[in-house]
Amino acid sequence: MKVPREIKRGWERRFPDLSGKWTHWKITGAGKFIAVVDGFDLLGALKVVEENYGRYITIKASRATVNEHGQLKDEEVALFEISNLSVDEQLIASSRDRDV
């Protein structure tokens, strides 16, 4: 599904800042692992969200780090909701209504 640019801009603002040891985002859909994306690749992270839009009611991200052995450690206590299907669909519908 093609997601309007305004919705994707909202997703972009919801990704947590990465600082200190946090270098990646771990992206989950309804609690299920989807992907790990390097913090320098926000466009890639947005693409992951868009590709999984509609599969999950919510898509969340947490801060993560990947060590030299490729092992993932994420900040389990802080989950950031990037997409909420109900909210996004309401925003899309209201956007369509304005365009009519």
Mean pLDDT lowest for which of 21-30, 41-50, 68-77, 81-90?
68-77
Q: What is the spatial distance between Cα 69 and Cα 48, in angstroms, rounded to a whole number?
A: 24
CA atoms within 13 A on the CB side of 11: 28
Residue 92 token pair: 């899309």
pTM, to two decimals:
0.88
Pairing of strands 58-66, 80-84: antiparallel
Beta strands in the chain (DSSP E): 24-29, 32-38, 58-66, 72-74, 80-84
Average pLDDT over residues 69-94: 88
DSSP annotation of 78: -
More confident residue, 37 or 78: 37
Percent with pLDDT over 70 in the chain: 94
pLDDT tens, position by position, 52-66 = 999 999 999 999 999
Residue 100 pLDDT > 60: no
